[in-house]
């Protein structure tokens, strides 16, 4: 299915920004970037379309403008129409999963790309969107010290000043090494209303964070300082699973631990472990992990939108003070 065209105009940077997103950025309003891989590769149709629309609605209800990002017919788009969202959802895996390394190829070939965390961060920063909401980021894989299997999400956070709101990382990954790698990359890691780094489906990972934030305003101050100091690196704000979903989350976490033990017993390592884990967890949980995943993304969207509004308000206050002092 070929993506539909929209009224977005392609600017000098080669990126088509929707009129709504462009207007919000021009007035210094709150904008939240959203990825498209979760739509094309994360869940089946029509659940993916319903979720995408609901997540955008959550962002709007909390005062921000959603900007879903994808590459359509070789043109990066920031902000999609309802028709384009449906096209992504129906096309699904026909859209290439696109990380930073894949962008040039997808654009040059006129292809269709569903952006991952790293590609979404890249385009968000390119057009001036400081906040990006996702489900969870990638990390250092187990046995990563031997396989060197490390997600490009982590290096992108090290060089792109965008704040990522996620539910941490799944315990299928090596969480302590992921946090060590983020420290090496100079990434500020904060946990929202907790002292512990969340492990996606569960609130606890056994890993403490160097920074705790308890409100959108606190988050905004850190983001503003990061930008004002030109640190050049991103920020990760980890939001724990909502308490009403903690019970199902704990059941999923138990399935993950069981699947990890099975993988160890069968000596499944390297690239083979991720598809094995995903299949086993799906079987062990009867598919319940999908609903918990959706709940996480919506909660992250709510928190991300509030942070975006707080950051916009902070920028406006500082700008107004500067103007008054100049008079």
How far is Cα of residue 272 from the mean position of the Cα atoms in its chain?
24
Do 174 and 254 fall within a single domain? yes
Q: What is the pLDDT of residues 82-133, one digit of tens each?
A: 999 999 999 999 999 999 999 999 999 999 999 999 999 999 999 999 999 9
pTM of the model: 0.92
**pLDDT reading at 243 higher than 90:** no
Q: What is the pLDDT of residues 247-275, one digit of tens each?
A: 787 888 888 889 989 988 998 876 567 66
Do 119 and 172 fall within a single domain? no
**Number of domains composing the chain:** 2
Q: What is the pLDDT of residues 25-47, one digit of tens each?
A: 999 999 999 999 999 988 889 99
* Whether 261 is catalytic: no
Range of the domain at 19: 14-129
8 Å CB contact between 207 and 182: no
Do 157 and 176 fall within a single domain? yes
Residue at a domain's end among 99, 129, 159: 129
| CA gap 205, 198 in Å, rounded | 6
Instruction: Say if 3 falls within a structural domain.
Output: no
Instruction: Say if 138 falls within a structural domain.
Output: yes
Contacts of 21 (CB under 8 A, 6+ apart): 31, 65, 67, 78, 79, 127, 129
| CA gap 191, 38 in Å, rounded | 23
User: Phi and psi dihedrals of 241, rounded to 5?
Assistant: -55, 140
CATH of the domain at 201: 3.40.1790.10
Do 276 and 192 fall within a single domain? yes
Do 90 and 113 fall within a single domain? yes
User: Phi and psi dihedrals of 153, rounded to 5?
Assistant: -55, -40
Do 177 and 224 fall within a single domain? yes
Q: What is the pLDDT of residues 199-235, one digit of tens each?
A: 998 898 999 999 999 999 999 999 999 999 999 999 9
**pLDDT reading at 293 higher than 90:** no
Residue at a domain's end among 129, 145, 166: 129
Do 118 and 193 fall within a single domain? no
User: Phi and psi dihedrals of 28, rounded to 5?
Assistant: 75, 25
Task: Enter the tokens of residue 214.
Answer: 């308890």
C-alpha count within 13 angstroms, C-beta hemisphere, residue 311: 28
* Whether 266 is catalytic: no
State the catalytic residue, choosing from 22, 56, 126, 170. Answer: 170
């Amino acid at each position: 299915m070929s993506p539909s065209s929209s009224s977005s105009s392609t600017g000098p940077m080669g990126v088509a920004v929707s009129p709504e997103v462009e207007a919000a950025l021009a007035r210094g309003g709150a904008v939240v970037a959203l990825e498209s891989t979760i739509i094309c590769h994360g869940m089946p149709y029509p659940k993916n379309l319903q979720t995408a629309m609901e997540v955008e609605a959550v962002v709007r209800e909390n005062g921000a403008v959603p900007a879903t990002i994808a590459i359509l017919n070789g043109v990066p788009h920031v902000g999609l129409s309802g028709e384009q969202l449906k096209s992504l959802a129906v096309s699904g895996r026909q859209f290439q999963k696109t990380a930073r390394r894949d962008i040039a190829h997808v654009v040059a070939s006129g292809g269709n790309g569903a952006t991952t965390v790293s590609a979404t961060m890249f385009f968000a920063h390119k057009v001036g969107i400081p906040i990006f909401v996702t489900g969870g980021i990638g990390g250092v894989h187990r046995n990563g010290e031997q396989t060197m299997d490390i997600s490009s999400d982590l290096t992108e956070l090290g060089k792109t000043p965008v704040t990522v709101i996620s539910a941490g990382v799944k315990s299928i990954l090596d969480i302590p090494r992921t946090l060590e790698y983020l420290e090496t990359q100079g990434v500020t890691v904060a946990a929202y209303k907790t002292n512990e780094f969340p492990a996606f489906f569960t609130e606890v990972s056994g890993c403490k964070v160097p920074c705790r934030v308890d409100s959108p305003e606190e988050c905004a101050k850190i983001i503003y300082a990061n930008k004002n100091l030109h640190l050049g690196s991103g920020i990760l704000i980890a939001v724990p699973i909502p308490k009403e979903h903690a019970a199902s989350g704990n059941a999923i976490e138990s399935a993950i631990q069981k699947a990890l033990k099975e993988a160890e017993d069968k000596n499944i390592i390297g690239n083979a472990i991720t598809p094995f884990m995903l299949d086993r967890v799906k079987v062990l949980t009867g598919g319940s992990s999908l609903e918990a995943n959706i709940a996480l993304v919506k909660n992250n969207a709510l928190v991300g939108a509030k942070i975006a509004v707080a950051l916009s308000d902070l920028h406006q206050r500082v700008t107004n003070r500067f103007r008054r002092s100049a008079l």
